[in-house]
């Protein structure tokens, strides 16, 4: 049974709690009132970026002090999943149907990709050595963006075992441990899939009967895959095979500071999860934050 104890304590399935190592980093980082965060990206260094679902603003925060500021004004449409590399921030644009590339020094949007013309929900991003891959929770496709600011985006139709239905479909995205395939979690069905990035062929990951329903952000560390189950207020921890064909849940992490966390990032042994607070009616004065704990 998963039990959420005090901030930074984790409880393995069937095990006992253990305290996180003392850390100079704050356990809670406040965000601007009314911000409505979703995605988070960290680095290089102790710097995190968070996007607003309301208007696409991007907030940059110092993880050592918890202080930050809006450094990139939004386009009026969401900023959701995001990743950083090479001085660039790659951002999924949600219902805006786009993706953007932002300069992490200046906050300037260097490139905008119009990915979908009809209904869409461009949701999350993973970076490989050659491309940025982006999910769409409404349409059964992935988008491939070139790294940098040159070139065009491409659309990869998904086929095989995944079947899109009502609600949020493909959400978080990662790579398999061997780097040959992609991983996507389907929020509405609780299933995890591998994707062949050349063909779009999908295969269900054998989860041993477990469900990852409400699965959102993914984070891979070695052969350990972390899956944020947002409305369940837990993070599922899975051991996954190198090719991604099999995975088993070994524990779930709960925390009293969780209030519908969506995505996660790591820095120096600490996890950072923004609370989207989907179950709280949003207002301009609604407070939001990021929960952090040692792992």
Chain segment 70-115, per-residue pLDDT in tens:
999 999 999 999 999 999 999 999 999 999 999 999 999 999 999 9
So what's the pLDDT on residue 295?
A: 79
So what's the pLDDT on residue 18?
A: 34
So what's the pLDDT on residue 274?
A: 98
So what's the pLDDT on residue 24?
A: 83
So what's the pLDDT on residue 98?
A: 98
Helix/strand/coil percentages in the chain, nearest 5:
0, 50, 50
Give the three-class secondary structure for 245.
Answer: coil
CA distances from 1 to 8, 20, 222, 268 (A): 18, 20, 25, 28
- Name the H helices within the chain: none
Single out the residue of 253, 293, 290, 289 nearest to residue 269, CA to CA.
293
So what's the pLDDT on residue 166?
A: 96
Q: What is the pTM of this model?
A: 0.92
Helix (H), strand (E) at residue 145: strand 141-146
So what's the pLDDT on residue 16?
A: 29
Cα angle at 186 between 181 and 189, to 5 degrees? 135
So what's the pLDDT on residue 22?
A: 57
> For every one of its 295 residues, what pLDDT tens digit does the chain have, with 9 covering 90 and above?
233 333 334 444 333 233 444 568 999 999 999 999 999 999 999 999 999 999 999 999 999 999 999 999 999 999 999 999 999 999 999 999 999 999 999 999 999 999 999 999 999 999 998 899 999 999 999 999 999 999 999 999 999 999 999 999 999 999 999 999 999 999 999 999 999 999 999 999 999 999 999 999 999 999 999 999 999 999 999 999 999 999 999 999 999 999 999 999 999 999 999 999 999 999 999 999 999 999 7
So what's the pLDDT on residue 1?
A: 28
């Amino acid at each position: 049974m998963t039990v959420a104890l005090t901030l930074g304590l984790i409880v393995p399935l069937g095990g006992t709690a253990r305290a996180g190592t003392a850390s100079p980093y704050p356990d809670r980082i406040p965000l601007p009132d009314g911000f409505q965060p979703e995605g988070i990206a960290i680095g290089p260094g102790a710097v995190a970026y968070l996007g607003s679902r309301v208007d696409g603003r991007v907030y940059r925060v110092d993880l050592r002090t918890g202080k930050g500021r809006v450094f990139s004004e939004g386009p009026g449409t969401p900023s959701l999943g995001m990743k950083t590399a090479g001085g660039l921030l790659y951002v999924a644009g949600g219902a805006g149907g786009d993706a953007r590339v932002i300069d992490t020094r200046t906050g300037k949007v260097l490139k905008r990709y119009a990915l979908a013309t009809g209904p869409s929900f461009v949701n999350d991003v993973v970076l490989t050595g050659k491309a940025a891959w982006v999910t769409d929770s409404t349409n059964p496709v992935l988008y491939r963006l070139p790294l940098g600011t040159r070139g065009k985006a491409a659309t990869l139709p998904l086929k095989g075992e995944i079947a899109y239905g009502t609600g949020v479909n493909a959400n978080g995205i990662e790579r398999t441990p061997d780097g040959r395939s992609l991983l996507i979690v389907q929020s509405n069905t609780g299933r995890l899939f591998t994707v062949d990035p050349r063909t779009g062929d999908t295969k269900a990951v054998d989860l041993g009967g477990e469900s990852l329903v409400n699965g959102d952000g993914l984070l891979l560390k070695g052969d350990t895959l972390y899956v944020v189950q947002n409305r369940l207020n837990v993070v599922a921890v899975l051991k996954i095979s190198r090719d991604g064909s099999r995975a088993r849940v070994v524990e779930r992490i709960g925390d009293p500071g969780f209030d519908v966390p969506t995505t996660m990032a790591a820095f120096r042994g600490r996890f950072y999860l923004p609370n989207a607070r989907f179950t709280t009616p949003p207002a301009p004065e609604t407070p939001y934050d990021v929960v952090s704990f040692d792992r």
